[in-house]
Chain A
Amino acid sequence: MTETPSKVGADDANAPPERAGRDDAAERARRTIAAVWRIESARIVATLTRFVGDVGQAEDLAQEALVEALKQWPDEGVPRNPGAWLTAVAKRRAIDGWRRRERLDERYAAMARDLEQQGGEASDTFWDPDTIDDDILRLIFVSCHPVLSREAQIALTLRIVGGLSSDEIARAFLVPTATIQQRIVRAKKTLAAAKVPFEVPEPNEYAERLGSVLSVLYLIFNEGYLPASGEQWVRPDVSAEALRLARVVAGLMPKEPEAQSLVALMEFTASRFAARTARDGTPIPLDEQDRSRWDRAQIARGSAALARADRIGRGRASYGLQAAIAECHAVAPTADETDWARIALLYEALGRLAPSPVVELNRAVAVAMSTGPASALRIVDELAVGGRLAGYAPLPAVRGELLARLGRTDEARAELELAARLTGNERERAALLAKAAALKSSVE
């Protein structure tokens, strides 16, 4: 897509032709560069990190090359292999820096020679096919390294693996751009200070480090799906980027069932985006959603990803079980026709893996749907006695619902009113009070 300023300018009737043409072409070149950056940045930064040894410095060099591209490409056109061009420019910058600091020892001299031999126009086989995938994997592990805070891991992953600008990350997380810039600068310093190696973790810490990578991606996904703040309930762009990165990670780790399962879980969840809010932005609960608006192709991709995870043959862990639950909902024609017995079993397995009162409450809901309110109430009563969910509105909400179905109206009303007092959500409070009031009138 080589830009043709004069032609663009001729189409613009409102501005002096030449000036408008140049601005327009510059804007189009800028957008093309942003697209190239998004596709290439992970490979560029990974390749540069292997070259200079430090992720932070590699990213700085890559950004300098990007600035250079913004200067040159609008006039000269986008080079045939833009990723290779950016990497070559960044490497030259690195070598210039070493020269200035008189650190051009034999190792760097050899690198400089190699680079000069490659010439300005890099070949199609610029990335070393034997190392580039591993280098991107290293980059992902380093971005999610435990020396960094969760916030820093998220910002760095989106920046250097996802290729998002600080502006884009700031928009996704509804914070000022300066905040994201600071987070990234600090994260780079922390990695350099801790001398974090550009390596895939050792076997003894691999599982935990992988868990950290997947958590970061899931948090990014949920930021788009369940925004903690902000007026827009669903911001699918953020979730789409998390899903894309999860596919990248799953592709790099074809033998990790949890990486495949996370893709599945995200596909199933994202398939409901269009049905999740009413036109006025009100969230619609799962059982009331218009299932004709669920994205069937996306559900099929989710099932395919879950099947890939299962074929690895190492059983299902946390994301696998959550994805399986999401799949039960996704393939059910109606809320009533959902395989609740299976969901109850999956929650039981999830609870055994990582005991959690919230998982147990979800299991109770599934048991109520499959077996009936009496057995569900026994689970909920145990939870209430345990006290770990004290002050958690969904507990009395579910308990109230179960008591109502068992005809214990007075207790049910008290529980629903308690839930209404506990919830922070106005609409939910109104719904709970309406249910409580309906119980009262049925008695009278």
Chain B
Amino acid sequence: MSTTLSDTPTLRAGAFGNATCLKCRECGATRELGPHYACYECFGPLEIGYEFGEVTREQIEAGPANIWRYKALLPVPDDIESSPNLEPGFTRLLDARNLAAELGLTRLWVKDDSTNPTNSFKDRVVACALSAAREFGSKVFACPSTGNLANAVAAAGARAGIRTVVFIPSNLETPKQVNSAIFTENLVAVDGTYDDVNKLASEIAGEDPGWAFVNVNVRPFYAEGSKTLGYEIAEQLGWRLPDQVVIPVASGSQLTKVHKAFRELVELGLVEDKPVRIFGAQAQGCNPVATAFKDGVDAIRPVKPDTIAKSLAIGNPADGIYVLDIARSTGGAVEEVDDDQIRDAIVLLARTEGIFTETAGGTTVAVLKKLTETGQLDPELETVVINTGHGLKTLDAVSGAVGPRATIAPTYDAFTAAGIA
């Protein structure tokens, strides 16, 4: 059939580095790089195709201490560091000995993405989307979001000097609202779930070519940013892959991209090939992928989310099917935990490692615990768990669980009577 290609802007040479095309993940059809996300042949998701030249460890190590050290592996121009952005990434990989001991694991690392500029991993993907929006000459930088993404888009847009509009479900936690509204005058609360907000964004993106919706029409570029989590884990382990990784699943994009990153590193000869078991973590109140995994089916049945883990509350995760493929083919699993287990895990991580995670990280740590207790994860193998966001964004989730142990008069007698000494 004929296709309309006139909506693809003229690009400067090298606008997307080593990226060469958009390729359909389903049918393999290719088309030129542009603000497109669905295959014109089959509606399947488009991914970035590359022609990598030689990429060495030394080149990467000589780069900046942020995601642009991996620019040769991303759809960004070679001069990416010179354009204003939040310079996210290269977050710490912490040897989590106390949590490991608590859970009975031999070796556990926490990849702590709560220390990104807007305190979630979203700064990584947004930085790549911002580059794409800039190259496409977009007038508006926008997103539908459950919160963390809105924070990241609003902040990145402010720094880049591009107009931002961010759409959120109206029931979102107040801190996440404020964390976006502080950066943009265009925070739009939509009466509905994230899936409703997403639908609205898809409709707007289809009508207004000047709008770059980071996770809709520039999604292929955006999603690539999550690969940097995988690159960093491997580099920070001394250029090798871990045995097991536990990753939260909302859309499922992050999990698929970490897997892709590991495969790319192997193919480029930057790490030795080895089996890596990949596990997904969901909340019981939004568990479409975990349910499909347990039922042994390939189709994801959408759900209406009801969980404190709002950043994971995507009821219709279209990358879910790829998460299933990866979990099954690597010997991993997709597990779920309830809201109480999520709260307990937030406290556990805080008290064992000094890391305050949001509900998504609570979900991931709780799933790590469950996988260990049920024997699905091998406690003798080296494991990495990804913390994607900061607990200050979801204070309400645990404000009833922790607080003052005692309220006492300012006297020594009162102190000793409280039994804390």
Q: Do A and B come from one complex?
A: no
Please report B residues at the A interface, Cβ cutoff 8 Å: none
Please report A residues at the B interface, Cβ cutoff 8 Å: none
